[in-house]
A and B are shown apart, each in its own frame.
Chain A
């Protein structure tokens, strides 16, 4: 019996060593990541959210603005990133532009927040260094589901986000339909709407309030062929969700009819579109600031 237990222990040595090395590497990298992330808190103006906001030119909106948006980022991760940023006592963040759109409440965001799906595993891999290991989010479920994406995440470069420019234009119908299906198709017994997105959106709002950060919600335009396919229920859910954030400025361009040449695909602006809308947002905000100062 003793021999058997000893054999098991001996056999486990390489695995234990690997776990020890991985954990040490994780601790070391986590410190590095948090240090790097907190350097972004020196910016007073930040842009956060998913790939829609990633396309906006921060400099055109406000001088020195930093874009930290990242593709397919669930608000849970935005919230975690923001927490790290404001944790820095010397942070200078006073304004945050947060992307908020109809597709943010679509079923794909449930998958991005669940380790039962490959999308969720990818999220963990990308944002591992930004999250806290023991929170009540329910994202990190069982050990067997966490282990593989976590190990991949530890040895991968974390996604800090940032501005992304696309030169595509006049998207084809197939591309639009593909994006629509990716966002809105429901797999098996999934929920229709992403309640977790709504919860974390409100948490971001509270975090901004607690840290005197002006939160501005921005909805960039959708391609007409994409928009027309969206079920009315999603529009309603979106508007209903934003009711609780009435006190926040919301720049909503979803209803705008936009020419195809400004779009890179179904829901993303291209270089030209980014230039146009970043300019519009920048001007609007400057005008509002001026008005406030004059009053």
Chain B
């Protein structure tokens, strides 16, 4: 079920009313309702996926319980590795089996021997990378005794399948989300209103910004061989805003929806395109994944302790794995590696924790230096997105070569110039609103709160009208495929 669909527009109020009216005074009933709603939400794509999530839930619940009673270190390790192998095994099979098969085949043919393999016909279950990482965090935290394993199977099922963030995050830590299922939840008006505001802003990002940019970006990327340099630059920019609008829009809707049910999810994006260096960008982009890798991969590998070589190795490891997490394609691996290369100078000069504060905090405009830093970081990011979006490495190489050609100074060739102009205008308005709200959790959080109600409502209505008027052709959320 997509957040920007009629199905969800019916589903959400129904679950909301049942949750607060029928199950209001009974925590167990509320949790059970969440599980039921989440399974309906997930099964809406394909009911067969449910068996996978149920199995994953059963495995990690059981292992969690066993870890509690087991004191033998070796046996505890075996339990941990069972969970890791089961979860990553599923992920590996569904997401990467064909990638490895194809690459083995290519490697063999490179050395002159042909092997016959057939690609497997596998459907990638929606959001598998997200809930797999979430359940893994639980088992690892229980293993490390940072968290008490839950006895309540319903609570654990609700934690694994919580529908607002099930298919595209934020990837919640058990230490943050699980305890919330134990606490009595009472309806909080301001929290619910705030949730609605965040949902509205998320829908705007997705339906207006991401989907409009997607149509143009898709056209340019799919026909990149026929495009001049300036059009290719526009294509990369459109994709840059598509992926941000799409993914952060989803996170906003997820966080807002959770607030309607009395839950607090972690902030997943902190205005990443206003970052002044790549390190800051990664502290602000897909925070739940970056911190997951930091806590469960980078630190166990040694983190920034040890010598320079160790630091470099760990940095490359985390970025490459992060790239590969996005999908079974070399483009993602190269994208991750490129970001590691961007990051390296900052790490080696100990400047990776320099720009921690919000840019131009308390000021309306940034300084020239800040502006140039943001522009530079943004350019690096856009360049990397080209590789991320390309079909394969050859496509990415040709696309980039096309940019750095004489045609860069030509007028862009667009199939729908009027549509492109409108989209650009919308993106400018979007950047402006994001800039105004950069000190908040999301751009709309405090915008207009001090205005008189009619004016504030007029602003919300403008956004709602924009949702219908300027929405692009409905696109699947990009991160669902990850």
Contacts and interface: CB of A to CB of B under 8 A. Distances in A.
Interface string A133-144: 000000000111
B6 A144 contact: yes
Interface string B22-40: 0010000000000000000
Contact of A116 (B189, B196, B464, B473): B473
A116 B196 CA distance: 28
Contacts of A116: 473
Contact of A4 (B187, B469, B473): B187
A147 interface: yes
A121 B464 CA distance: 20
A3 interface: yes
Name which of A15, A143, A144 has the most chain B CB atoms within 10 A of its CB: A144
Given A4-B187, A142-B6, A148 B457 contact: no
A1 B468 contact: no
A4 B192 contact: yes
Given A144-B6, A148-B468, A148-B469, A14 B189 contact: no
Interface in B288-325: none
Interface in A114-165: 116, 142-144, 147-148
Contacts of A14: 457, 461
Contact of B468 (A3, A4, A147): A147
A205 B456 CA distance: 56
Contacts of B469: 148
A20 to B, nearest CB: 16
B460 A11 contact: yes
Contacts of A3: 189
B21 interface: yes
Nearest to A145: B474
Nearest to B470: A148
B115 interface: no
B193 A4 contact: yes
Contact of B189 (A4, A15, A142, A144): A4
A11 B457 CA distance: 7
Contacts, number: 31
Contact of B21 (A1, A7, A142, A147): A1
B49 interface: no
A82 to B, nearest CB: 32
Name which of A1, A7, A8 has the most chain B CB atoms within 10 A of its CB: A1
B6 A1 contact: no
Interface string B455-482: 0010011001000110101100000000
Interface residues on B, range: 20 to 34
B20 interface: yes
Interface residues on A, range: 10 to 19
Nearest to A116: B473
A146 to B, nearest CB: 11
Nearest to A5: B17
Nearest to B17: A5
Contacts of A144: 4-6, 468, 471, 474
A121 to B, nearest CB: 11
B189 A143 contact: no
A14 B469 CA distance: 17
Contacts of B20: 1
Interface in A1-50: 1, 3-4, 7-8, 11, 14-15
A148 B467 CA distance: 10
Nearest to B460: A11
A59 B4 CA distance: 52
A1 B187 CA distance: 6
A142 B6 CA distance: 8
Contacts of B192: 4
Contacts of B474: 144
Nearest to A1: B187
A223 B469 CA distance: 39
A148 B208 CA distance: 14
Contact of A7 (B6, B24, B193): B193
A1 B260 CA distance: 10
Contacts of B5: 142, 144
A221 B64 CA distance: 77
B23 to A, nearest CB: 12
A148 B207 CA distance: 14
Contacts of A8: 196
A107 to B, nearest CB: 16
A4 B469 CA distance: 27
A116 B460 CA distance: 27
A143 B196 CA distance: 21
B92 to A, nearest CB: 30
A143 B6 contact: yes
Contacts of B471: 144, 148
Contacts of B461: 14-15
A15 B464 CA distance: 10
B3 to A, nearest CB: 12
B15 to A, nearest CB: 14
A9 to B, nearest CB: 12
A144 B471 CA distance: 10
Contacts of A7: 193
Contacts of A147: 468
Nearest to A152: B469
Contacts of A142: 5-6
A14 B459 CA distance: 13
Interface in A230-287: none
Contacts of A143: 6
Interface in B160-202: 187, 189, 192-193, 196
A145 to B, nearest CB: 8
Nearest to A142: B6
A7 B464 CA distance: 16
A48 to B, nearest CB: 31
Contacts of A11: 457, 460
Contacts of A4: 187, 189, 192-193
B191 to A, nearest CB: 10
Rank and list the top 9 A-B pairs by shortest CB-CB distance, nearest first. Answer: A1-B187, A4-B192, A1-B20, A148-B468, A143-B6, A4-B189, A3-B189, A147-B468, A142-B6
16 contacts: A1-B21, A3-B189, A4-B189, A4-B192, A4-B193, A7-B193, A8-B196, A14-B457, A14-B461, A15-B461, A116-B473, A142-B6, A143-B6, A144-B4, A147-B468, A148-B469
Given A1-B20, A1-B187, A15-B464, 20 more contacts: A1-B21, A1-B24, A3-B189, A4-B187, A7-B193, A8-B196, A11-B460, A14-B457, A15-B461, A116-B473, A142-B5, A143-B6, A144-B4, A144-B468, A144-B471, A144-B474, A147-B468, A148-B468, A148-B469, A148-B471
